[in-house]
Amino acid sequence: MSRYFTEDHEWVDVEGEIATVGITDYAQEQLGDIVFVELPAEGATFDKGDDAAVVESVKAASDVYAPVSGEVIEANAALEGEPALVNSDAEEDGWFFKLRLTDASELESLMDEAAYAKYVDGL
């Protein structure tokens, strides 16, 4: 499995043609306590960069963008009842949705873990 990151602080794990998307630990720390997550519907399609989900915290609401183009095959239903999962485990159990990739070449424009760490250090 390969993990990629965006400048908007989303992560994406890719296994075959399936991409699992969430927000990074850095993003959840900036947001504070997550109180609500709005997830995309199964079957929804997104182009890279489209608004795909919304995360609300006690501080602010923020869009979660599709890091790659694809069709939603699953949303993390656990977040509807327990949005704080994003705070406690943002980069594992707190994932937002899974996409079936439509253009794997889009992954080439994303950062690997080392590049993302350097990016965050510069903020």
Identify the sign of the CA torsion 85, 90, 96, 98.
negative
Q: Which domain holds residue 68?
A: 2-103+112-121
45 and 17 in contact (C-beta within 8 Å)? no
- How many domains does the structure of the chain reveal? 1
Rounded CA-CA distance 97/116 in Å is: 21
pLDDT for 1: 77
Per-residue pLDDT tens, the chain, 123 aa: give them. 799 999 999 999 999 999 999 999 999 999 999 999 999 999 999 999 999 999 999 999 999 999 999 999 999 999 999 999 999 999 999 999 999 999 999 999 999 999 999 999 999
Which CATH number belongs to the domain containing residue 93 in this structure?
2.40.50.100
